[in-house]
Structure 1
Amino acid sequence: MNALNFGRRQFRRTALAAALGMTLASGVVYAQSNSSGVIFGRADSATGATVKIVNVDTGLSRELPVSSDGRYRATSLPVGSYKVTLLRDGNVVETRDVQVNIGSGSDVSFAAASATQAQTLEGVQVVGTSLPAIDVSSVDSRTVLTSEQLQRIPVASNVNAAALLAPGVVAGDSRYGGVISFGGASAAENQYYINGFAVTNPLTGLGFATLPFDAIDQQQILTGGYGAEYGRSTGGVVNLTTKRGSNTWKAGAQVQWSPRALTANPRSIYYPQHTGNVTDGTIYQDRSGNKTTNTLYGLYVSGPLIKDKLFIYAAADVVRQDGSRGVTNVLTRTSFDGPLKANHWLGKIDWNITDSHILELTGLGDTNLNDTTIYSYDYATKSRTARLGTEHQKNLGTANSTPGGVAYIGKYTGYITDSLTVDALYGHSRTDHIDVVTGAAGVNCPNIVDNRNVPAARKRVSCAPVQGNLNTPGAYDEVDNIRFDIQYHIGDHDLRVGIDNQKAESFGGLAVQGGATWTYTTPPASGTISGFPELAIPAGSTEIVRRQIFRASGNVKVEQSAQFIEDNWQVSDRWHAYIGLRNEQFKNFNTDGVVFVKQRHQLAPRLGLTWDVFGDSTFKVYANAGRYHLAIPSNVAIRGAGPQLFERQYFTYAPGSIDPITNVPTNPVAISGIHYANGADGSAPDPKTLSAKNLSAYYQDEYILGFDKQLAPDWTMGAKVTYRKLRSIIDDMCDSRPIEAWAARNSITISPDANIPGCFLFNPGKGNTFTVDLNNDGKYENIVLSKADLGFPELKRKYVALNLYVEHQFNQQFYGRAEYVLSHSYGNSEGLLKSDIGQLDPSVTQDWDFPELMIGSNGPLPSDRRHQLKAYGFWQMTPEWMFGANLAAYSGRPKNCLGIRDPDIYNYGSSYFYCDGESPRGSKGRLPWTYQLSLNAEYRPAMFNHDLSLKLDVFNLLNQQREQNIDETFQTGDGNPSPTYTRALSYSAPRSVRLTARYDFSL
Structure 2
Amino acid sequence: MSVVGYGRTKLWRHTALAVALSLSLGGVAMAQSNASGVIFGNAGDVPGATVHLQNVNTGQSRDITVEANGRYRATSLPVGTYTVTLKRDGQVVGSRENVQVRVGSGTDVSFDAAASEGGAKTLEGITVVGSALPAIDVSSVDSRTVLTSEQLAKLPLARDVTAAALLAPGTVQGDSRYGNVASFGGASASENQYYINGYAVTNALTGLGFTSLPYDAIDQQQIYTGGYGAEYGRSTGGVINVVTKSGGNTWKAGVGLHATPDALRSTPKSIHRKDGQLYQNRSDNESTAMQYTGYVSGPLVKDKLFLYAAADFTRTSGKSTGSILTPQSTDEVSKAKKWLAKIDWNITDNHILQFTGLSDQTDTDRTVYKYSYANQSRGDLIGTDTLKNAASLAGSAPGGDVYVGKYTGYLTDSLTVNALYGTSKTTHRRTLAYATNPNCPWITDSRTGITNPIVGCGLVGGTVLGPGANDKTHGWRLDVEYQLGSHDLRAGLDTQTLESTSGNQYEGGYRWRYRNVRADGVFPGRPDATVPAGTQYYVENRTFITGASVKVEQEAQFIEDRWQVSDRWMAYLGLRNEQFKNINGAGDVYVKQRHQLAPRLGATWDVFGDSTFKVYANAGRYHLAIPSNVAIRGASASLYSSQYYTYNGVGPNGEPLNLVPFGSKIYLNGEDGTDLNPRTVAAQNIKAYYQDEYILGFDKAINNDWSFGAKATMRKLKSSIDDFCDSRPFEKYAARNNIDITNASIPGCYLFNPGVPNTFLVDVDGQGNLVPFKLTMEDFTTPAGVAFPPLKRKYYSLDLYLEHHFDERWFARMEYTFSRSYGNSEGQLKSDIGQLDPSVTQDWDAPEIMQYSNGPLPNDRTHQLKTYGFFQLNKEWLLGANVAIASGRPMNCIGFDPVDAIQYGASYFECNNQPAPRGSRGRLPWTFKADLNAQYRPLWAGADQNLAFSVTVFNLFNSQKTLSQVDGGEDPANDYQRPLAFQTPRYVQFGVTYDFSL
2: CA distance between counterparts of 1:744 and 1:143?
Answer: 57
* Contact 2:94-2:122 within 8 A present in 1 as well: no
Matched with 1:11 is none
State the shift of 1:580 in Å.
0.4
2: CA distance between counterparts of 1:426 and 1:351?
Answer: 16
2: CA distance between counterparts of 1:700 and 1:119?
Answer: 49
Show CA shifts across 1:649-707 (max 9, x none): 110012xx2211x2112321001210111101111221111100000000000000000
State the shift of 1:86 in Å.
0.8
Matched with 1:24 is none
2: CA distance between counterparts of 1:143 and 1:291?
Answer: 35
Show CA shifts across 1:831-880 (max 9, x none): 00000000000000100100000000000000100000000000011110
Pair 1:191-2:193 in alignment: yes
CA distance 1:198–1:538, change in 2 (3 Å): same
Show CA shifts across 1:45-91 (max 9, x none): 32111100000000010001110111111111110000000111111
Matched with 1:766 is 756
Pair 1:315-2:310 in alignment: yes
Please show how residues 327-406 of structure 1 align to structure 2 within 5 Å: 327-397=321-391, 402-406=397-401
Show CA shifts across 1:334-355 (max 9, x none): 0100211100000000000000
> Partner amino acid for 1:773?
D
Pair 1:804-2:795 in alignment: no
2: CA distance between counterparts of 1:77 and 1:626?
Answer: 27
Matched with 2:91 is 91
State the shift of 1:943 in Å.
1.1
> Partner amino acid for 2:46?
A
Matched with 1:146 is 148
State the shift of 1:377 in Å.
0.3
1: CA distance between counterparts of 2:789 and 2:795?
Answer: 19
CA distance 1:104–1:123, change in 2 (3 Å): closer
2: CA distance between counterparts of 1:383 and 1:749?
Answer: 64
1: CA distance between counterparts of 2:575 and 2:115?
Answer: 32
Please show how residues 253-268 of structure 1 align to structure 2 within 5 Å: 253-268=255-270
**Secondary structure of the corresponding residue to residue 687 of structure 1:** coil
State the shift of 1:735 in Å.
1.1
**Secondary structure of the corresponding residue to residue 547 of structure 2:** strand
Matched with 2:651 is 659
State the shift of 1:112 in Å.
4.2
CA distance 1:725–1:515, change in 2 (3 Å): same
CA distance 1:78–1:298, change in 2 (3 Å): same
* Contact 1:96-1:119 within 8 A present in 2 as well: yes
Pair 1:419-2:453 in alignment: no
State the shift of 1:779 in Å.
1.3
**Secondary structure of the corresponding residue to residue 219 of structure 1:** strand
* Contact 1:481-1:503 within 8 A present in 2 as well: yes
Q: Structure 1: which 5+ runs fail to align?
A: 9-14, 20-26, 274-280
Pair 1:939-2:931 in alignment: no
Aligned partner of 2:981 among 965, 968, 986 = 986
* Contact 2:308-2:343 within 8 A present in 1 as well: yes
State the shift of 1:119 in Å.
11
State the shift of 1:905 in Å.
2.5
State the shift of 1:440 in Å.
3.2
Matched with 2:776 is 786
**Secondary structure of the corresponding residue to residue 984 of structure 2:** coil
Q: Structure 2: which 5+ runs fail to align?
A: 9-14, 20-26, 781-786
**Secondary structure of the corresponding residue to residue 744 of structure 1:** helix
* Contact 2:382-2:436 within 8 A present in 1 as well: no
> Partner amino acid for 2:104?
G
Aligned partner of 2:506 among 512, 517, 530 = 512
State the shift of 1:401 in Å.
7.3
Aligned partner of 1:570 among 550, 564, 569 = 564
Show CA shifts across 1:190-238 (max 9, x none): 0000000000001000000000001000000000000000000000000
> Partner amino acid for 1:384?
R
CA distance 1:411–1:167, change in 2 (3 Å): same
Matched with 1:880 is 876
State the shift of 1:454 in Å.
3.6
CA distance 1:413–1:729, change in 2 (3 Å): same
State the shift of 1:523 in Å.
2.0
2: CA distance between counterparts of 1:507 and 1:547?
Answer: 27
Aligned partner of 1:737 among 711, 724, 728 = 728
2: CA distance between counterparts of 1:392 and 1:99?
Answer: 46
Matched with 1:839 is 835
Larger mean CA deviation between 553-562 and 288-297 belongs to 288-297
Aligned partner of 1:830 among 811, 826, 841 = 826
Please show how residues 913-932 of structure 1 align to structure 2 within 5 Å: 913-916=909-912, 917-932=914-929
CA distance 1:124–1:578, change in 2 (3 Å): closer
1: CA distance between counterparts of 2:986 and 2:519?
Answer: 46
CA distance 1:356–1:777, change in 2 (3 Å): same
2: CA distance between counterparts of 1:811 and 1:780?
Answer: 71
* Contact 1:639-1:841 within 8 A present in 2 as well: no
Show CA shifts across 1:596-618 (max 9, x none): 00000000000110000000001
1: CA distance between counterparts of 2:422 and 2:839?
Answer: 26
State the shift of 1:442 in Å.
4.6
> Partner amino acid for 1:658?
V
What TM-score do the two structures reach when normalised by structure 1? 0.94
**Secondary structure of the corresponding residue to residue 673 of structure 1:** strand
CA distance 1:831–1:672, change in 2 (3 Å): same
Aligned partner of 1:221 among 211, 220, 223 = 223
2: CA distance between counterparts of 1:531 and 1:437?
Answer: 36
State the shift of 1:3 in Å.
12
2: CA distance between counterparts of 1:163 and 1:398?
Answer: 24
* Contact 2:497-2:551 within 8 A present in 1 as well: yes
2: CA distance between counterparts of 1:868 and 1:92?
Answer: 51
Please show how residues 583-732 of structure 1 align to structure 2 within 5 Å: 583-654=577-648, 657-660=649-652, 662-732=653-723
Matched with 2:22 is none
State the shift of 1:126 in Å.
11
Matched with 2:970 is 971
Show CA shifts across 1:906-959 (max 9, x none): 221111010120000000000001111010000000011211000010000000
CA distance 1:58–1:228, change in 2 (3 Å): same
* Contact 1:114-1:616 within 8 A present in 2 as well: no
Matched with 1:81 is 81
State the shift of 1:122 in Å.
5.2
* Contact 1:175-1:398 within 8 A present in 2 as well: no
> Partner amino acid for 1:462?
G
Matched with 1:162 is 164
What TM-score do the two structures reach when normalised by structure 2? 0.95
* Contact 2:129-2:148 within 8 A present in 1 as well: no
CA distance 1:77–1:758, change in 2 (3 Å): same
CA distance 1:376–1:114, change in 2 (3 Å): farther
**Secondary structure of the corresponding residue to residue 830 of structure 2:** coil
State the shift of 1:44 in Å.
2.0
Aligned partner of 1:469 among 449, 463, 472 = 463
State the shift of 1:310 in Å.
0.3
> Partner amino acid for 2:300?
L
Percent identical residues = 58
Please show how residues 449-468 of structure 1 align to structure 2 within 5 Å: 449-456=444-451, 458-468=452-462
* Contact 1:271-1:983 within 8 A present in 2 as well: yes
Pair 1:776-2:770 in alignment: no
* Contact 1:120-1:130 within 8 A present in 2 as well: no
* Contact 1:211-1:366 within 8 A present in 2 as well: yes
Matched with 1:954 is 953
CA distance 1:961–1:327, change in 2 (3 Å): same
Matched with 2:23 is none
* Contact 2:423-2:473 within 8 A present in 1 as well: yes
State the shift of 1:113 in Å.
11
State the shift of 1:398 in Å.
5.4
What RMSD, in angstroms, separates the aligned Cα atoms of the two structures?
2.0
2: CA distance between counterparts of 1:237 and 1:124?
Answer: 27
Please show how residues 546-561 of structure 1 align to structure 2 within 5 Å: 546-561=540-555
Matched with 1:173 is 175
State the shift of 1:509 in Å.
0.8
